[in-house]
Structure 1
Amino acid sequence: MERRIKLTDIDRPDEPLEVEIERLAETTLRVLVPNTVIRFELRRASEAAPFEGSLGGRSFTFDPEPPPAKPKTRRK
């Protein structure tokens, strides 16, 4: 996963917020807003759910991309 990611604003999906990942756990994502002292957390209910959180009246989501599928090998 990239160190810098874009969070989707639920109300304004065309205005993402670019942040840096500070810490990533199974159900918690802590991020830093570049060039500020602001940090906040996004949480998810399960590993399959997207992360959700809010900052200053804006609500954000982040759905990490699944790891790339391993190529299938043919057995002879």
Structure 2
Amino acid sequence: MTQDASPPESDAPAEPFPALTAEIDPRLLEILVCPVTHGRLDYDREKAELVSQGARLAYPIRDGVPIMLPEEARTLEA
């Protein structure tokens, strides 16, 4: 008799922001700047993003790594 190797289904919702489990090194935050404005970035822990108010962009953090490409950034609303 063979058993099904798939995990049991769960009714629990998937974690909405899986990157939240990874923290970013505070020393890295001190040296990173926006690649567009060269200005400072604010860390939004809840959304796992580095926010440039000057460029109105939010750069994602994936698996603890900031993705500092403007084409990967989310545009902030006015």
User: Structure 1-normalised TM-score?
Assistant: 0.28
Q: Which has the larger radius of gyration?
A: 2
Structure having the higher helix fraction is 2
User: Structure 2-normalised TM-score?
Assistant: 0.28
Structure having the higher strand fraction is 1
